[in-house]
Amino acid sequence: MTKISFSINLVILSGLLFVSCKSKLPETTEKNKTGEVAEKAMLVSARREASKIGVDIMKKGGNAFDAMVATEMALAVSYPFAGNLGGGGFMVYRTADGNTGSLDYREKAPLAASKNMYLDENGEVIEGKSTLGAMASGVPGTIAGIFKVHEKFGSLPIQEIVQPVIELAEKGVIVTQKQQERLQKYRDVLLQVNQDMTLYTKAYKKGDTIKNIALAHTLKRIVANGRSEFYAGETGKKMLEFLKQRGGILTEEDLLKYEAKWRDPIRIPYKEYQIISMPPPSSGGIVLGQILKMIEPYPLAGYQPNSAKYIQVLTEAERRAYADRSFYLGDSDFYDVPQDSLLADAYLSDRMSDFSFEQATPSSTITHGTISGYESNETTHYSIVDAMGNAVSVTTTLNGAYGSKLYIPELGFFMNNEMNDFSLKPGVPNMFGLVGAEANAIEPEKRMLSSMTPTIIEKNGKLWMVVGSPGGSTIITSVLQTFLNVAEFDLSMQESVSAKRFHHQWLPDEIMMEPEGFAKETIQELQQKGYKINQKESRIIGKVDAIKVLPNGNLEGGADPRGDDTAIGF
Ligand code: GLY
């Protein structure tokens, strides 16, 4: 008997022993049985204001795509931490008649970008250059994205869709406790980068109102002049001038050449489910698919959620998938991503063949390369289902919190620091390391590799779940656990979103866990088997906003209690 079949037999046996015990959340896991339930439509996003604006558009007869345009813009007003005009994102959709697709409005490297642009004369990464200020920004894609969506699927005029967002910017957004804390945490660096007091560097308290009149004006011009207002008009010119004065390299040609792109989504079969997710330049769909295929042979439903065995299986699959991510994934317009090979059943079953429940597999024994710790986690996700049955899953980002921290006062928005998602120092000399570094090395007009995983899941051919998360590299594992919590453990959408999460990404070789969410005995058991546990790195892992279609056709929203996230339906 091979090691793998012996291990799987052991797993099946222990699974059978558990089968009569109903899966339940560990004592320490936050419980909130069922989320918002509605009959027709549902929208879950990071802010109540944005969810309401998107839902109101659907109440007026707009579809999920109209609501996407409204929500994307409303998040730029109400959640400037990640909502944006100066960033980019991805959308996965499924129309009511079952057609699926995805839109890539990811930022691109400027034409003047080069492979070593963030290295000093000794070849070392210059601290802050790819994260703070004008040099950190890729060419923004968000405005191109919303117009592309509207052109193909929109049913209401853009003026009608964006008007409530303009009114929100003028009327103002009420500061929440969490927003007060975020603004306080980043105030020093915002002041340092902007060298001036700006709208978001004032000392706000919970209950204060932030009006963004400059953003209202920008949105009015965009409504009046369309997409070209941003890529060839006054707004674009002002943005370029602002960046140029601060050492930026974006040019008029960069803006003129920017295009959002429709792409074929990744489709992953898992039991009776079809997972539809984002292809490159996101790593999300491929890595999620690799993990799911590696764990599918194990009887997960027989384990308790967040038990040692469950954590082991997911961790070992994650370790192997993230090692591949580091080597093979990048913008497929520039690099031949071996998508089919990476998702091949035989390959993935072989990848898990050295896993044993007895002992952790050290990451050093898995193909290795260099990655620099955890990625930043300041994206935002929203999920929409409309009354016709169209579904939209969108993750949008500035990359870091408030992006490059550079705020353009005259236009009312922050610029991204997405250039930091490239591999800044490529060429690690080993068989796979060089390939991986090249895959995501900086090149003019290339899109930087992402982990964003907007996902739609069908069950037996019907719409079943819309899901996604912010969280940098933890996005993929957050989406994975949210899906498994419902598919394998039968939790409600809200319970699944609220449940504590863990994450492994090959390097560093440790399981990151949310504090106080896991039983002491589980942690001890894992440690005895050689797993390093890190509960300090992150207070939260992911911030999932999801919708599940219930058996009676109603929609259940799962809004993440880790943020101000809100599900609204009707
Ligand atoms: N900027 C985070 C991501 O795209 O994964």
pLDDT digits (tens, 9 = 90+) for 88-97: 999 999 999 9
* 106 assigned ligand-binding residue: yes
Task: Please tell me the predicted confidence (pLDDT) of residue 366.
Answer: 83
- Pairing status of strand 88-94 against strand 391-397: antiparallel
- 374 CA distance to ligand 1 centroid (A)? 11
User: How many domains in the chain?
Assistant: 1
* 326 assigned ligand-binding residue: no
- 37 CA distance to ligand 1 centroid (A)? 30
Query: Where does the pLDDT of residue 507 fall: very low under 50, low under 70, confident under 90, or very high at 90 and above?
Result: confident
- 397 CA distance to ligand 1 centroid (A)? 7
**Which of 53, 35, 55, 61 lies closest to 43 in space, CA to CA?**
55
Domain for residue 396, yes or no?
Answer: yes
Alpha-carbon span 195 to 177, nearest angstrom: 26
- Pairing status of strand 511-513 against strand 533-534: parallel
Domain for residue 166, yes or no?
Answer: yes
**Which of 446, 451, 444 lies closest to 326 in space, CA to CA?**
451
Let me know: does 52 contact 143? Beta carbons within 8 Å: no
Handedness of CA 514, 519, 523, 529 (dihedral sign): negative
Does the pLDDT at position 1 exceed 50? no
What is the reported pTM?
0.92
**Span 383-431, pLDDT tens digits:** 999 999 999 999 999 999 999 999 999 999 999 999 998 988 864 432 2
* Poorest-pLDDT segment among 57-71, 288-302, 361-375, 509-523: 361-375
Return the percentage of the chain with pLDDT > 90, whole number: 82
Output the CA angle 553-559-562, nearest 5 degrees: 160
Query: Where does the pLDDT of residue 13 fall: very low under 50, low under 70, confident under 90, or very high at 90 and above?
Result: very low
**Span 194-203, pLDDT tens digits:** 998 999 999 9
Query: Where does the pLDDT of residue 327 fall: very low under 50, low under 70, confident under 90, or very high at 90 and above?
Result: confident
**Span 112-163, pLDDT tens digits:** 999 999 999 998 889 899 999 999 999 999 999 999 999 999 999 999 999 9
379 given a catalytic annotation: yes
Alpha-carbon span 229 to 244, nearest angstrom: 19
Atom 3 of ligand 1, nearest CA residue: 450
Atom 4 of ligand 1, nearest CA residue: 450
Domain for residue 504, yes or no?
Answer: yes
Domain for residue 278, yes or no?
Answer: no
Mean pLDDT over all residues of the chain? Answer: 90
* Integer Rg of the chain from CA: 22
Query: Where does the pLDDT of residue 438 fall: very low under 50, low under 70, confident under 90, or very high at 90 and above?
Result: confident
Cα 123 to chain centroid, rounded? 31
Tokens 């960033």 locate to 87
Pocket-testing residue among 397, 416, 479, ligand 1, by greatest number of atoms within 8 A of Cβ: 397
State the closest ligand 1 atom to the C-alpha of 475, by its place in the atom list counted from 1: 5
Domain residues for the domain of 560 are 39-171+210-264+368-567
* 507 assigned ligand-binding residue: no
Query: Where does the pLDDT of residue 377 fall: very low under 50, low under 70, confident under 90, or very high at 90 and above?
Result: low
**Span 523-549, pLDDT tens digits:** 999 999 999 999 886 678 999 999 999
Q: Mention every residue, 6+ apart, whose C-beta is less than 8 A from residue 475.
A: 284, 379, 395, 451, 452, 453, 468, 469, 542
Domain for residue 309, yes or no?
Answer: no
Domain for residue 400, yes or no?
Answer: yes
Pocket-testing residue among 375, 377, 416, 446, ligand 1, by greatest number of atoms within 8 A of Cβ: 375
Tokens 């929409």 locate to 384
Task: Please tell me the predicted confidence (pLDDT) of residue 368.
Answer: 38
Query: Where does the pLDDT of residue 433 fall: very low under 50, low under 70, confident under 90, or very high at 90 and above?
Result: very low
**Span 240-265, pLDDT tens digits:** 999 999 999 999 999 999 999 999 99
CB-based pocket (< 6 A), ligand 1:
375, 379, 397, 399, 421, 450-452, 472
Please report, for residues 103, 134, 217, 256, 488, the alpha-carbon distance to residue 228 in angstroms, rounded to integers and kept in the order given. 19, 22, 16, 9, 47
- 451 CA distance to ligand 1 centroid (A)? 5
CB atoms within 10 A of CB 396: 32
- 303 CA distance to ligand 1 centroid (A)? 32
- Residue 286 main-chain phi, psi, to 5 deg: -70, -45
Task: Determine the average pLDDT of the residues in 333-351.
Answer: 92
Query: Where does the pLDDT of residue 553 fall: very low under 50, low under 70, confident under 90, or very high at 90 and above?
Result: very high
Which residue among the candidates 71, 95, 379, 522 is catalytic per the annotation?
A: 379
Let me know: does 306 contact 28? Beta carbons within 8 Å: no
Domain for residue 385, yes or no?
Answer: yes
DSSP element (H, E) containing 293: helix 284-295
Domain for residue 244, yes or no?
Answer: yes
Query: Where does the pLDDT of residue 188 fall: very low under 50, low under 70, confident under 90, or very high at 90 and above?
Result: very high
Locate the DSSP E strands across 173-286. Answer: 173-174, 209-210, 261-263, 266-270, 273-277
**Which of 130, 84, 176 lies closest to 378 in space, CA to CA?**
84
**Span 139-150, pLDDT tens digits:** 999 999 999 999
* 131 assigned ligand-binding residue: no
* 111 assigned ligand-binding residue: no
Which CATH number covers residue 407? 3.60.20.40
